[in-house]
């Protein structure tokens, strides 16, 4: 079963964090990634750049619109992800609980759907 752990935090929080604190947080996340690799469940994992470089494309009243970040209306931004292959939802949940991101942000666990109709 495939699951994604989404790493989310408030907009601008990463940029406001003092350098030393950010380096410690990054080291904790890299150690967590190594744990996932060592357990053989990590498929992929990456940090994402802040949303000031992001672009949103949506259709409003049949017209496509493009918005450049940052997106001040967002409650949180996705700062990275881990794609896991686990035996069960409970196993994936155990890894989600281990993720250090929950100390300063949000970890969201999502199961990968086999189709868009699930």
pLDDT at 111: 96
d(C-alpha 97, C-alpha 53), whole Å: 30
Task: State residue 107's pLDDT score.
Answer: 96
pLDDT at residue 75, rounded to an integer? 80
- What are the structure tokens assigned to 20, written together? 């030393």
CA 26/CA 68 separation, integer angstroms: 26
Q: What is the pLDDT along the chain (118 residues), one digit of tens a residue?
A: 999 999 999 877 888 889 999 999 999 999 999 999 999 999 999 999 887 788 888 898 999 988 887 666 778 889 999 999 999 999 999 999 999 999 999 999 999 997 666 6
Residue 82: which residues within 8 A CB-CB, separation 6 or more?
A: 4, 5, 7, 33, 36, 42, 44, 45, 95, 99
């Amino acid at each position: 079963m495939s699951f994604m752990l989404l790493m989310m935090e408030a907009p601008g929080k990463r940029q406001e964090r003092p350098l030393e604190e950010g380096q410690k947080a990054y080291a904790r996340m890299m150690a967590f990634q190594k744990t996932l690799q060592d357990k053989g469940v990590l498929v992929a994992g990456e940090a994402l750049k802040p949303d000031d470089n992001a672009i949103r494309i949506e259709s409003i009243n049949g017209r496509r619109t493009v918005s450049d970040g940052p997106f001040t209306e967002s409650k949180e931004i996705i700062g990275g992800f881990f794609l896991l292959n686990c035996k069960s939802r409970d196993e994936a949940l155990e890894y989600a609980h281990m993720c250090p991101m929950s100390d300063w942000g949000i970890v969201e666990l999502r199961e990968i759907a086999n189709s868009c109709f699930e």
